[in-house]
Amino acid sequence: MTYFERINFIATACADNGIAHSVNTVWDGYQIRFPWCEGDVACHFGTYGHDSDMVESYQFPWDEGDVSVLTPEEAVEHIINYYAEFGD
């Protein structure tokens, strides 16, 4: 998957679930930001897992003060579950 395909998969799932987000370009890839929390998900040449079809999340509870390397599907599951707890 390309960087765009991974981020677009997550962005589409967020849109389908009514989760507020924005997509930004960063370096040679993309980042998803969320106005309701500090977390973000990114995929570009500098993120862990970028060469293995993964994305990197940062500043979410599951990152435990570091970053997490996730499949796009795992990222969607985490974001949906966290949003349900966090609310809008």
pLDDT for residue 88? 47
pLDDT for residue 87? 56
**17-72 confidence digits (pLDDT tens):** 999 999 999 999 999 999 999 999 999 999 999 999 999 999 999 999 999 999 99
Rounded to whole angstroms, the Cα distance separating 57 from 82 reads: 13
Contacts of 45 (CB under 8 A, 6+ apart): 27, 28, 29
**66-82 confidence digits (pLDDT tens):** 999 999 999 999 999 99
pLDDT for residue 36? 94
For 53-83, the DSSP string reads T-EEEESSGGGTTSEEEE-HHHHHHHHHHHH
Flag whether pLDDT at 83 surpasses 80: yes
